[in-house]
Structure 1
């Protein structure tokens, strides 16, 4: 590339062809101070060899020279010429000048050569060339920059399209997740729905089109409306209010449902809105009420059962006792509920009681086991014990008082022993009586036989 090495010297290769020795020597030193590389030839033929080997950027040559003149030289390099040419000549033949112009020379200077004029001509030639080269370089850089930026923008466009597709896919999947949620989800602003998923529409019995026309307060049961409004006012003023609450809602068909609301204030489309999650707990509440009723019936049955029943936690704390158990142990219900199960076990039965307790915790029920409990007056009461595991935390024991039965069995055993003794006495009497009366009876029998024969 042609450029200035400094403000006085060009970084170009110069070929100077001049047959006159004096002219060559006068101009050579000045040219070497002005150009980075200078090659000298004494005629066109020698100059042609240097042209082919050195590929100069500028040629200064005479017109009339031995071996090969300037015009012939130019014609020889015309096919691949890329350099600038300055002609120097003492002649002003118009025909030759026209021929030189037609050959495309860049400048013509008459001899004797004035170096300042030559320098001025070179500056004009190469200033334009430098300007053109700089423009070309700038244009090349600009084209490369534009091309690079175009590729970058195209890549960004492709990335943007890909990102847009990914976002659209994620939005669709997110929408599918929201719509297939088991809970109703909505976004509300100024009492209007900005978003409502399919589940919420199904919970309330409205279509997606209908629900966006509703005022949210039209769905809240009148008896619960003021309470929910108060929550909203307090939340807006910064007071601490629950984000989760239960309210009744009215469906399109007029059915009342019990729902659990979880609400939170969010930024939505550059404005504040309320995000809500609605869980239909109607069936859960109904089931819970039925369970409570069932538990009440069960507790009533347990309370009124003629069999003593005690329920204890796995840590031994008694948490339920019925009337029969209180009568059996001679404690009040309040007293027993403050005790552990081990407090009701006599000392000699503690080890057996602990083993039985652990056995039940391992899901091994106890059936008709002989056991004893300790009453309030420290009197021991004999029982038949049955125990089962209700759940992971509770054990229930059935206690049947067999004290009177044991007494009856004891009396019966005493009676049996007495009868047995009497039977033995009778057996002894029978033996003695049989032995002592045997001979007289035999004698009488013999006498009777004699009388019968006579």
Structure 2
């Protein structure tokens, strides 16, 4: 297929595709314009309806409500739906094709009952409370509409007229009944639906698109023909001339020239073609001349090579490094530098075996290299070895070996450099490095050096033990320490490098070890930034702190639950702890007691000195044995207590006192009662003994008195006295019986 045919087909397909694409885009644009205009009209109608409803709701309804009874209801002045629908009905008389509806699932007025499509829209609004609008195409009564719907969501303020029928105005129930429009719930949804007819507008857009497509097709057809004509005239014809000229030159007609006068790139190409033919013709005539010139140049290069060889010899003999050539075990050439290094003259070296210069410990190794090289096997070309000087000293040299052709045969050329001083310096550096490693290893804390891209370049054994890894060098810190795939958020290493200051932090590794970490930025001599991280394992310390805190809480709870008063003083005898038992015993609240002088607070003039002396004993580092004493409550009443105390000693220094007060007032009363009972018991025992002894005496007195009365007549003058004695004895016997009863 020729170029002209390919071009015509390509341009034709391109223009056809372009025409179809432009037509489709134009129709899509016109269609979107029609939809956008329809949407704007729908939104404008909805906005006017909502404005009317707000006016009724905010102005008209409140005004009418004030003028009528609560049970009365005038929909023409109070119902937003009724008034809006009435306005739309008048609007539709002028625009009958427009569609509007207040649609609900259970409307008060049957004309507002939602159809199937409107039910689906209502369900969408119910399912998505955040949805504020629905829009789209729909077909109604055989006509295409563009519809927009917005939700009417029932609120608490709507429930009077749409909730319980009993709460609604009586006039509303009489007019619409108590079924439709009632029993709504807060959050129920109805919709305002507006539809604009699109059939005519879309037909107009389609017609305009067809007209545009026809015009575009005519334009592209003309453009195609014009392009084809100019392509044939300005491209194809010059190419045919160039093709013919190439054939003529290819046939050996070097005098043939192209005649193109188009004043464009083709003319420039033809001119270049003519120049090429002219130069090609001239090249044949210059070929012999070039051959002669090249021969002369080769002669000059040979002379230059000889000169270069002289310069190389001078460089070898006068250079800083020793250079030698040997075959087998004999030198073929040595420069003065080799003689200077070894202390042997060049003549002496030429007569020596090369292995005699090598130190015994390196000799076999170097011979092995020679044997491998002679067999054609790989052998080191650079190595270090010790050389024996003529004066007996040993020097360390660095050798570089290569195989060359010398005097027509294979030989070994080597260069040697004395590196004894360098080795000494390297050994000193190694010793210093080992010393530094020893110091780092002796540090009790973990230590590592990390680059700014989070790679660990050194880590001591302590750190490896902390994180539980045997190898850390070459690993990323976030992966080795925290098993992460990316650097840590708010990385302290990065902050230390960016802010050029020390960063401190605390974190817990995955193995449960808690550490305190310090990041110190450091700039190396090569300009690289690194961070020295010192890691201190504080796992045990944190565990002890937790145990101390738990024990402190335990003691605080124990002291708080103790029935006795427990008071703690500082070294100035001021109260620093006052438990609930102290509040109950002395009547002072904790906030009132803290910071007060204990002996001034609960001691009075008659007991202050005694209390202060006890406190001084404890402050002197001695314990106070249980001591009965008297202290005073907040209301001034005395209270009998047993006080014990002990010093609080930290680091061999008394820093305070703890005192415990036990209320024994009740026990003291019981002891007094016991003493009284014991006294009464003693009196009873005494009275019983006296009564028994007195009864024995009275028995004799009354017996003898009875015998005496029997021997006396009643007329006897002594009978009356004896009778008095008997009666006195009987009274004494009765008193004795009372004493016996008391003693029991």
1:181 alignment partner in structure 2: 443
The residue aligned with 2:663 is 401
Matched, 1:275 2:532: yes
TM-superposed deviation, 1:298: 2.4
Alignment of 1:424-435 (within 5 A): 424=686, 432-435=694-697
Candidates 188, 205, 228, aligned match of 2:491? 228
Q: Residue 325 of structure 1 is aligned with which of 582, 586, 591? A: 582
SS at the partner of 2:488? Answer: helix
Q: Give the secondary-structure state (helix, strand or coil) at the position aligned to 1:202.
A: helix
RCO comparison, higher one (Cα < 8 Å, 6+): 1
Alignment partner of 1:211 is 2:472: yes
SS at 1:225 equivalent:
coil
Asked if residue 247 in structure 1 is aligned to residue 507 in structure 2, the reply is: yes
What is the distance in 1 between the residues matched to 2:557 and 2:678?
44
**Is 1:370–1:382's contact at 8 Å kept on the other side of the alignment?**
yes
- Structure 2: how far apart are the matches of 1:385 and 1:329? 13
TM-score (norm 1): 0.53
Aligned-partner Cα distance in 2 for 1:275–1:444: 126
Kept in 1, the 8 Å contact 2:478–2:487? The answer is no
Contact 1:221–1:249 at 8 Å: present in 2 too? no
Contact 2:496 2:502 in 1 (8 A): no
CA contact (8 A) 1:373 1:381 kept: yes
Deviations 1:58-103 (A, max 9, x none): xxxxxxxxxxxxxxxxxxxxxxxxxxxxxxxxxxxxxxxxxxxxxx
Show the counterpart of 1:344: 602
Q: Is 2:630 aligned against 1:368?
A: no
Q: Measured at CA, do residues 164 and 213 of structure 1 come closer, stay the same or move farther in structure 2, by a change above 3 Å? A: closer
Q: Identify which range, 330-339 or 355-364, moves more after superposition.
A: 355-364
**Which residue number corresponds to residue 266 of structure 1?**
522
Aligned counterparts of 2:607 and 2:578: Cα–Cα separation in 1:
21
- SS, match of residue 647 in structure 2: strand
The corresponding residue for 2:646 is 388
State the distance in 2 between where 1:186 and 1:278 align: 8
Q: 1:375 to 1:224 in 2, by over 3 A?
A: farther
Structure 1 residue 293 corresponds to structure 2 residue 559? no
Match of 1:355 in 2: 613
Residues 403 and 292 (structure 1), Cα distance of their counterparts in 2 relative to 1, 3 Å cut:
same
CA distance in 1, matches of 2:587, 2:563: 15
In 1, the alpha carbon distance for the partners of 2:483 and 2:507 equals 7
Q: Distance in 2 between matches of 1:284 and 1:372?
A: 46
Q: Separation in 1 of the partners of 2:483 and 2:639?
A: 59
Query: Is the CA contact 1:180–1:198 (under 8 Å) kept in the aligned structure 2?
Result: no
Deviations, residues 123-163 of structure 1 (Å, cap 9, x unaligned): xxxxxxxxxxxxxxxxxxxxxxxxxxxxxxxxxxx999999
- The 8 Å contact of residues 496 and 519 in structure 2, kept in 1 or not, is answered as no
Given that 1:187 and 1:274 are in contact with CA atoms closer than 8 Å, whether structure 2 keeps it comes out as: yes
| Secondary structure in structure 2 of the residue aligned to 1:350 | helix
For 2:466 and 2:589, the matched residues in 1 are separated by 51
User: How far does the alpha carbon of each residue in 1:373-395 deviate from its partner, in whole angstroms, 9 at most, with x for none?
Assistant: 33211222221122233442343
Q: TM-score, normalised by structure 2?
A: 0.34
Contact 2:497/2:521 (8 A) holds in 1? no
Q: Distance in 2 between matches of 1:198 and 1:288?
A: 27
Alignment CA distance shift 1:162-1:221 (3 Å): closer
How far did 1:336 drift?
A: 2.2
User: What SS class does the counterpart of residue 536 from structure 2 fall into?
Assistant: strand
Residues 407 and 225 of structure 1, relative CA distance in 2, 3 Å threshold = farther
